Structure 1
Amino acid sequence: MGNPKFSQENFFEAALEIVADRGAAGVTVASVSERLGSPRGSFYHRFASRDVLLASLWLRAVLGFQAGISIALDAEDGLAASLHTPAWVRKHPDEACLLLLFDRRDFLKGEWPAELRERIAEMTQRMEGGSHKWARIIFGKEGREEVRLAQFLISELPVAAVRQHLLRGEKPPELIDRIIRATYRAVVADYGRRKNGSPARRRKKEA
């Protein structure tokens, strides 16, 4: 039976440090146990396998990242959702490296318990359907163009803006926020001029 002094969170933190240093390939039962200073039995008391640990770690990071975007979109504030990425990256650099610098397929391998499979499937479905919600909030409709622009503003633009800084091992500077803010407003204003002859309706004041 595993040593109760080593919690699941302890194993996540140790694995995350290894991912930041060496990528997903560096995460093994031995490397995590050695990093944590725990017997291997403690690992298997918490996780059925290395693959389960990696999938759980990836899901944990994704859900943590998505929480801020969901809060902003529930408040119908598209700009805040777009600015969430650099703010989150500054607070969670290791999780950011896991999500933005590595292929998710490196973490989602092998056989998982049914509960973990269901949670990942549910989360993936929610991610895929989120673009339509983004489009409704930012542009008031969810046609093909609106969904594509929403994906750019909430996901692609912020990720591209912070990636180079993650690769250099540095926090994104405040300049990144100004670039995202200016681009967001330009895209929304251009959409409004083309579609309505005026800036797109904003459901919340976006400072």
Structure 2
Amino acid sequence: MARPPRFDMNQLLDAAVRRAAALGPAGVTMSAVAKEVGAPSGSVYHRFAGRTALLAEVWLRTVESFQEGYFEILEADVDARRAGPAAARHVVAWSRAHPEEAALLLYGAEGFGRSNWSEEHLHRADCGNQRVRTALASVAVALGAEGPQATECVALALVDLPLALVRRHLRAGTPLPAFAEDLAEESAAALLGAFPAGSASTR
């Protein structure tokens, strides 16, 4: 009977995350990841067709992990005025709980070679991005405001501001302050408060 593989995909991707957080995408090579886990290079090539596929997978796994919790929060409460600020809080809370993954995301998909990704990887990325856009537009509609300006306001509250808070501290190498989640949540609530009161109910 064949022996199970000693090094699975998640072990290799975890190693890639560590290297990306410490050294940037340039530090994520097939040989470096293999060395990180004490595996022969063949183990990495067995799991990934090449470095481009490795970079795509480490980026997508990280983004999809974040998005899973983000969507759960947005969909858990039919009141957009509660769900929106809670989602903004999640951005900071997730980043605090996953500092290496959050540092990795600072480089953006292009930093991980998106222009060379396979169609399958591009499709996964595009589906995730579209789901975010749809969710933000849904929140705007639930708040009783439609159109580009309303969607931009929601994106600012639920994505841009909490990410800016996280990014500033990650780039400075300083820890997130204890009140960061509260600040993100309260800022989002204040921005969403610009929409007419009583307009948010169900989605």
- Which stretch shows the higher mean deviation, 158-167 or 147-156? 158-167
Question: Secondary structure of 2:49's partner?
Answer: coil
Distance 1:172 1:111 in 2: 33
Q: CA contact under 8 A between 2:15 and 2:37: conserved in structure 1?
A: yes
When residues 98 and 72 of structure 1 are mapped into structure 2, their CA distance, relative to the original with a 3 A threshold, is same
In structure 1, the partner of 2:199 is: 201
- CA deviation after TM superposition for structure 1 residue 29, in Å: 1.1
When residues 27 and 132 of structure 1 are mapped into structure 2, their CA distance, relative to the original with a 3 A threshold, is same
In structure 2, the partner of 1:27 is: 28
After TM superposition, list the pairs within 5 Å mapping 1:72-87 onto structure 2.
Answer: 72-74=73-75, 75-76=77-78, 77-87=83-93
Residue by residue, what CA displacement relative to the aligned partner does 1:31-77 show, whole Å, maximum 9, x if unpaired? 11111111111011100011101101111111111112211111231
| Structure 1: gaps spanning 5 or more residues | 193-198
Residue by residue, what CA displacement relative to the aligned partner does 1:56-103 show, whole Å, maximum 9, x if unpaired? 11111111111122111112311111111111011111111111x213
Distance 1:104 1:154 in 2: 20
In structure 2, the partner of 1:13 is: 14
When residues 188 and 120 of structure 1 are mapped into structure 2, their CA distance, relative to the original with a 3 A threshold, is closer
TM-score (norm 2): 0.86
Question: Secondary structure of 2:201's partner?
Answer: coil
Distance 2:117 2:107 in 1: 20
In structure 2, the partner of 1:177 is: 181
Opposite residue 201 of structure 1, the aligned amino acid is S
Distance 1:170 1:201 in 2: 39
After TM superposition, list the pairs within 5 Å mapping 1:38-57 onto structure 2.
Answer: 38-57=39-58
Q: CA contact under 8 A between 2:157 and 2:192: conserved in structure 1?
A: no
- Equivalent in 140, 165, 170 of residue 166 of structure 1: 170
In structure 2, the partner of 1:186 is: 190
- CA deviation after TM superposition for structure 1 residue 189, in Å: 2.6
* CA RMSD in angstroms, aligned pairs only: 2.1
Identity %: 34
Answer yes or no: is 1:89 the counterpart of 2:95. yes
Question: Secondary structure of 1:191's partner?
Answer: coil
After TM superposition, list the pairs within 5 Å mapping 1:137-156 onto structure 2.
Answer: 137=142, 139-156=143-160
Q: CA contact under 8 A between 1:136 and 1:142: conserved in structure 2?
A: yes
Which structure has more relative contact order (CA 8 Å, sep 6+)? It is: 2
In structure 1, the partner of 2:67 is: 66
Aligned residues: 194
In structure 2, the partner of 1:104 is: 109
Residue by residue, what CA displacement relative to the aligned partner does 1:93-128 show, whole Å, maximum 9, x if unpaired? 1111111x213202124242x543432232233234
- CA deviation after TM superposition for structure 1 residue 146, in Å: 1.2
Distance 1:200 1:174 in 2: 32
Residue by residue, what CA displacement relative to the aligned partner does 1:105-154 show, whole Å, maximum 9, x if unpaired? 02124242x543432232233234333123123x2332222101100011
TM-score (norm 1): 0.84
